[in-house]
A and B are shown apart, each in its own frame.
Chain A
Amino acid sequence: MNNEKISSLELIAALSDQSGVTKKTATAFMRQFMTTVEDALLRDGTVKIKGLGTFKITWNESRTSVNVQTGERYEIVGHNKITFLPDDELRDIVNRPYAHLEAVDIEGNTIGKPEVHHEDEHLKRFSEQATEIMSIISDLQGVQPKEIAQPASTVAPIVEKTTVPEESVIPEKIAEAPVSQVVAPVVEALVVEIPVVEAPVIESVPETKVIEQPVVDVKEPVLQPEPIVEIPKENFAAVSQTDDKISEARLVERMAAQPVKKSKKWLWITLIIIALLIIGAILCYLFCPYFQTTQKPVAPQIAKTAVAPVAVATKPDTTVQVATTAAPEPTKPVDIFDQPREYKEFITTETTTAGSRLTLLSLKYYGHKVFWVYIYEANKDKIHNPSVIPVGTKINIPKLDPALIDKHDARSFQKASELQTLYTK
């Protein structure tokens, strides 16, 4: 970004440079342009200039205002003013550095974020509770090792049993309440958390399978036992990892028993997904050779017929081949658009004059301005800047595949405009 002020003098110099007219003519043109626009603006109230924009006169209603210094009220009389609305073309050219940016829906993001936050909160709460339980249990063990040692009971019974005996120790009672309170949320937290741990496991399993399938072509029953072994393992691993903080092994075992039951349901879902993926892969594999064999020969042949129909006429063999191979191939236009273009045959050669534009040549020979990119591609060695062509340049107009310059086809348009954005950078 260089913030220079370009005066009309420099603009006139550039104009005479690029168009080949004398400076005198360019000056006269510029002056006449400004006065004509001005006159027309005053006469009609609106002037539309293609590629630049629209000048318009709008009426500002009279209104009262206040002088800030004296506090006096005064009226601004109604008057005309000029508004300028840049043309789409100019707007896009100037906005090119930011053209890739798009409006972002903030709401969508903020909806997504709290979910992640919730998980964190659960984890945080869980680890807090775990440390709490640990401290409580260690307290209990320190005070009454006998009662805690009772094995096959849940945590709730422990609380009950501690209450049943005589009201011997006072600190023990204080410990009771927090234990029963804390245990319930822990179970909740675990249940909420386990699906989160499982999700990535399920995703990763089918992914690796997909990669394997095309190469080895493994059968379904062989694959099925694998995930059965894998998933429970990972579940246990994940659960035990998160539960490591809790020293009490019993707690972990009881809580881990629940998710294992749940994971069976997940197993079935993963098996179904894997089966579907295998079927998809087989279908793909069946169609693959078809693509590989047809794509290669069709592309060059089309190029031959398109570029040199005369040559094809003398060789009937190739035309027959094209007819047979191209007919069942629906991806024919795709090949034309994707293959690199070669320009060997030319319709004619044009010598540029003042005011010649590639777009105008394209309009003349191909029926639409957008296909100027192909003329540019064919004459890249002579043209440095597609928007500035020196007068007297000999431009070869290439002969193109009719599908490439079909102005009724959206694809050819899209391709041309893609190229256009590429070259006008």
Chain B
Amino acid sequence: MNNKELIAELARSLELPKEKVSGLLEITIAAMAEELSNGNSVNMQGFGFFEARRKEERLSVNPRTKVRTLIPPKQVVVFKPSNLLKDKVKESPRHE
């Protein structure tokens, strides 16, 4: 499901115009991004937990050229699904 389908689906079940839904979605995501970039974590009850984690700098070696490169530290977003969702997904049939 892509963004468009998600908005259409939300608009249908909430009985709101698509424009409004897409606006709400954008604001939600912007608010989440803001919190995450401030170092806070966002917990969505029953869904999962978004967190910004710092990855330390590391040395990487290109296996072909053997060039050693220092990868700088970075901040990444990780998502941990809630136990509820995790179990639901676990029991779902195999995709593909």
List chain A positions with a Cβ less than 8 A from chain B: 1-8, 11, 14-15, 18-19, 21, 25-26, 28-30, 32-34, 36-38, 40-53, 55, 57, 59, 78-82, 84, 86, 89-91, 93-98, 101-107, 354-357, 387-388
Contact = CB atoms under 8 A, between A and B. Distances in A.
Contacts, number: 199
Listed residue (A28, A82, A103) with the most chain B CB atoms within 10 angstroms of its CB: A82
Contact of B36 (A21, A26, A90): A90
Nearest to A101: B72
Contacts of A96: 37, 75
Interface of A is mostly: mixed
B23 A49 contact: no
A103 B1 contact: no
A149 to B, nearest CB: 59
A53 B19 CA distance: 20
A40 to B, nearest CB: 4
Contacts of B71: 103
B32 A52 contact: yes
A360 B21 CA distance: 15
Nearest to B95: A45
Contacts of B1: 40-41, 43-44, 46-48
B39 A33 contact: no
A264 B30 CA distance: 68
Contacts of A103: 69-72
A18 B31 contact: yes
Given A1-B39, A53-B79, A80-B89, 14 more contacts: A4-B40, A6-B35, A11-B32, A11-B35, A18-B31, A19-B24, A33-B10, A33-B25, A42-B89, A48-B1, A89-B33, A93-B34, A95-B76, A98-B75
Nearest to A46: B1
Interface string B54-95: 000001000000011111111111110100011011101011
Contacts of B23: 19, 354-357
User: Range of interface residues on chain B?
Assistant: 35 or more
Contacts of B39: 1-3
Contact of A57 (B13, B19, B95): B95
Contact of B28 (A15, A25, A105): A15
Contacts of A48: 1-3, 6
A55 B90 contact: no
Given A2-B40, A33-B10, A91-B77, A7 B90 contact: no
A30 B52 CA distance: 21
Nearest to B42: A6
A38 B85 contact: yes
A21 B24 contact: yes
Contacts of A94: 33, 36-37, 52, 75-77
Residue of A28, A59, A355 with highest tally of chain B CB at under 10 A = A355
25 contacts: A6-B35, A6-B40, A11-B31, A11-B42, A15-B28, A15-B31, A25-B16, A33-B28, A40-B6, A42-B89, A49-B6, A53-B77, A53-B79, A82-B48, A82-B86, A84-B79, A93-B37, A94-B75, A94-B77, A96-B75, A97-B75, A98-B74, A102-B72, A106-B59, A354-B20
